[in-house]
Amino acid sequence: MTQPLPILVAGGGIGGLAAALVLAQDGHAVTVLEQSSAFGEIGAGIQLGPNIFRMFDYLGMTESISRVAYFPPGLGMNDVRTGEKVVRVPLGEVARAAYGFPYGVIYRADLHQVFLDACKAQPNVNLRTGAKVESFTQDANAVRVRLAGGDTVEGAALIGADGLWSRIREAVVGDGKPRVSGHVAYRAVLRREDVPAHLWSDDVLLWGGEKTHLVHYPLRRGELFNLVAVFHSDKYDEGWNTFGDTAELTARFADAVPQVKELLGKIETWKMWVLCDREPVKNWSDGRVTLLGDAAHPMLQYLAQGAGQAIEDAVVLREALRFTRGDVAQAFRQYQQARYLRTGRVQLTARFYGDIYHASGVQRELRNRMFQGGTESAGFAGLKWMYEGIDPGKLFN
């Protein structure tokens, strides 16, 4: 490694903090620019595949993650109209035997806090709040970022980890607004004591139906119960924290089995977000500026890989800077070259899985028979390429 670099990261979410952490571990001086008044995360649960635990192991974070994660015994899918089991994939030792790492779930706020605490423990990470990026300029030696309010911050590189509606992406890629999927998600969390025993499941369980599905699983060592209901809708709102319409949700699940209706009825207030992604792109870098996570490759949530792919990005970015011995522009080219096909495949496969979950008519019957007959797998076999993950040490050798 050559001389440590001053690096700017726009966005203090999971991806931005992961990037700050790995780069600070290599000695770089990292400034995280978060537009909100405080660092924090909204949302509910996140599923963590074996590929993500591989990254935690690489980063030395397995113990801190495991303290707040939950490890479900299985991953299943039922038909929301009939209640019949479509498929169940055992996890636990099965996942460890197949990939060397477990499958877990975690509260999004807990995952964010683990990364935030790790960054705070790094003396060369500067965490700035109320720092909204308005624009940037660059030359052969530096990037200068102009913040709302007029301040200017300078660094050797800028990483845009500013999410789906990224300002950095506007300047680098310029492909307009995100692609609206026509699906919305309602999220809520219950305390364990508020979930009747006959509605509780230790598994990650998805109830798939026509243009709709519900997924639920325990969180925080089984103390909480996470619910996410997804259905087709023409509503659009640019945010992650809008209140949902309970009447619309009830109408969409009118044909669901009684236990699903009863579970949905336990929630008085839902938060809603519109599911969006973008078409995969091959280039998301410009000189000393690059993108990471949702800013680079936003994806629908049907494979539960958004946060995980952002963490993989951060690791690959570190390895690219090591390989190029600090040549920022070359490192960013190497980084995106190593990532764009994998992340693009996740983006497109997530769309396909949305169709599987929301199938109707003949497609629904075919899905159920194929999965129940064992001729196809909705679990690890079909996603082996994704769950195997990446080997950081072999990326650029």
Percent share of the chain, pLDDT over 90: 75
Tell me the whole-structure pTM to 2 decimals.
0.93
Q: Using the structure block, give the residue that is written with the tokens 């973008």.
A: 278
Grouping H, G, I as helix, E, B as strand and the rest as coil, residue 61 is coil
Q: Quick check: 65 pLDDT over 90?
A: yes
Residue predicted with more confidence, 53 or 365 = 53
Q: Using the structure block, give the residue that is written with the tokens 């994806």.
A: 299
Rounded to whole angstroms, what are the CA distances from 59 to 115, 270, 335, 386? 11, 35, 18, 19
Grouping H, G, I as helix, E, B as strand and the rest as coil, residue 51 is helix
Helix 14-25, helix 306-323: angle, nearest 10: 30
Which residue segments constitute the domains of the chain, with CATH numbers given? 6-70+105-177+280-355 (3.50.50.60)
Per-residue pLDDT tens over the stretch 234-291:
766 555 567 888 888 899 999 999 999 999 998 888 888 889 999 999 999 999 999 9
Q: What is the DSSP string of 263-302?
A: HHTT-S--EEEEEEE----S--EETTEEE-GGGT----GG
Distance CA 308, CA 301 (A): 11
Q: Which residue numbers are catalytic?
A: 217
- Mean of the per-residue pLDDT values of the chain: 92
Per-residue pLDDT tens over the stretch 297-355:
999 999 999 999 999 999 999 999 999 999 999 999 999 999 999 999 999 999 998 88
pLDDT attached to residue 243: 80
Distance CA 108, CA 219 (A): 10
pLDDT attached to residue 357: 84
Contact 238, 165 (CB under 8 A): yes
pLDDT attached to residue 332: 98
**Residues in the chain, how many?**
397
The angle formed by the CA atoms of residues 165, 204 and 86, to the nearest 5 degrees, is 110
Residue 216 — pLDDT band, cuts 50, 70, 90?
very high
Phi and psi angles of residue 48, each rounded to the nearest 5 degrees, phi first: -120, 105
Residue predicted with more confidence, 241 or 109 = 109
Q: Quick check: 379 pLDDT over 80?
A: no
Contact 331, 319 (CB under 8 A): no
Amino acid present at 95: A
> Region 65-79: what's the mean pLDDT?
94
User: Hey, which bits of 25-142 come out as E strands?
Assistant: 29-33, 45-48, 74-79, 85-90, 104-107, 125-128, 133-138
Rg (CA), the chain: 21
Range with the lowest mean pLDDT among 136-145, 209-218, 236-245, 317-326?
A: 236-245
Residue 378 — pLDDT band, cuts 50, 70, 90?
very low
Amino acid present at 100: G
Range with the lowest mean pLDDT among 53-57, 239-243, 290-294?
A: 239-243
